[in-house]
Chains A and B, each alone.
Chain A
Amino acid sequence: MKTSADPVRDYLSAVERESSALPADRRQELLADLAEHIEVTRAERPDATVGEILAELGDPRTIAATALAEAGNAGAGALPRNEAGASVRRGKVHPLVPLLMLTLSLPFMMLFPDLPGPLFGVLFRITGAVLLCTSVHWTAVRKTTGVLLTAILPTAVIATWNLSGAPAGTPSLVANLITLAVLAGTAVWLYRVRRA
């Protein structure tokens, strides 16, 4: 594992990465519990090094696996069962679905510039972004980067372009193609770094 100035942060992001299949609220709770444990232990045992405290906490993968198992067998109450079911369903969408929706929304709008073409394009983009964010195939950082580059950036560029009253025609086409290249590049990157 690479080292950096902050081993606690590295440790917590390793847990976050390994537990990405957990529902977000569970993951945040686990991270908060572990962060609290580290802080309390450091206060109670000032002689212990951070490395010792983290070693006692254990392998992030083991902790994440335990958390996933606990989330899976929490069938005692009605609410936990529903949450577990939701977390299983979330992972079912193929990783290509959000990527294709996000990428194709722009050429779709270019081919059908009259209503309801742009409306469908925007719906594609929003649905794609939601599917991307709820997918288990990417980490939070990659999801954020993906949404920024494939949904927010093109929307901002197009809105700015249209509001500024820039000329239609060749410059508009070039701008669209550049945006499309960014979209496709980001989608290819996301597909490559996805988790099975």
Chain B
Amino acid sequence: MEPGDSAKQARAAAQLRKGVLEYCVLALMRDRPRYGVELLHALEESGALATSQGTVYPLLSRLRRDDLVTTTWQESATGPPRRYYALTDSGRAALDEFTRVWPGFRDAVDAFLTSPHPSTGDLT
């Protein structure tokens, strides 16, 4: 079966998202704890990182098991209590590490995509 162009684009975006989503989620908690629906709204507004919302919960569950985040229940004036996610020390360390390597990674990919590559330079 030959997937259409839009399906291929969706797959490229999904592949990219898979790698960076957890660090974006960690980054959202950098300044203060957030609850699940709040995290999903922020991802939704970013556009490129928007994903089927329900798939973020298994990710949050793994971050908790890997001890990168902790959770606490907090009462709310409106509606049910919310489970808030906050960075642990190792979560903060993982986020710092990603923050350090990301610019180099991003620049390298940009360089491949924008400048003529030596092997294709002959053709232009």
Contact B66 A40 (CB under 8 A): no
Assuming the contacts A39-B79, A40-B80, asked whether A33 and B36 have C-beta atoms less than 8 A apart, the reply is yes
- Near A by CB (< 8 A), chain B positions 34-87 give 35-37, 40, 52-55, 57-62, 65-67, 76, 78-80, 82-83
Are B54's CB and A62's CB within 8 A? yes
Residue in A closest to B57 when the chains form the complex, CB atoms: A33
Q: Is the CB of A80 within 8 A of B65?
A: yes
- A56 contacts the other chain (CB 8 A): yes
A residues contacting the other copy or chain, number (CB 8 A): 31
Say whether A169 faces chain B, with CB atoms less than 8 Å apart.
Answer: no
Q: Which of A37, A39, A56, A70 is within 8 Å of B58, CB to CB?
A: A70
A100 CB to nearest B CB, Å: 35
The CB with the most chain B CB atoms within 10 A, among A70, A71, A76, A80, is that of A70
Q: Mark B82-118, 1 if CB is under 8 A from A, else 0.
A: 1100000000000000000000000000000000000
Contact B55 A80 (CB under 8 A): no
> With a CB–CB cut-off of 8 A, which chain A residues contact B54?
15, 34, 37, 57-58, 60, 62-63, 66
Q: Shortest Cβ distance from B124 into chain A, in angstroms?
A: 41
A67 neighbours in B (Cβ, 8 Å): 57-58, 61
| Most chain A CB neighbours (cut-off 10 Å) among B62, B66, B80 | B62
- Give the shortest distance, in Å, between A95 (CB) and chain B (any CB): 27
User: In the complex, what residue of chain B is closest to A76 when comparing beta carbons?
Assistant: B66
In the complex, A15→B55 CA distance in Å? 11
Size range of the interface on B? 20 to 34
User: Given that A39-B80, A41-B37, A43-B80 are contacting pairs, would A66 and B66 also be in contact in the complex, using a CB cutoff of 8 Å?
Assistant: no
| B57 x A34 contact (CB < 8 A) | yes
Q: Which residues of A contact B78 (CB under 8 A)?
A: 43-44
Known: A37-B36, A40-B80, A41-B37. A30 touches B53 (CB 8 A): no
CA A89 to CA B82, docked complex, whole Å: 35
A36 contacts B by Cβ under 8 Å: yes
Nearest to B37 among chain A residues (CB) is A40
A interface with B by C-beta (< 8 Å) = 15, 26, 29-30, 33-34, 36-37, 39-44, 56-60, 62-63, 66-67, 69-71, 74, 76-77, 79-80
Q: List 17 A-B contacts (CB under 8 A).
A: A29-B61, A33-B36, A37-B36, A37-B40, A37-B54, A43-B76, A43-B78, A44-B37, A44-B79, A58-B52, A62-B54, A62-B55, A63-B52, A66-B54, A66-B58, A70-B58, A80-B66
Top 5 A-B residue pairs of the complex, sorted by shortest distance between their CB atoms? A43-B79, A58-B52, A67-B58, A63-B54, A57-B54
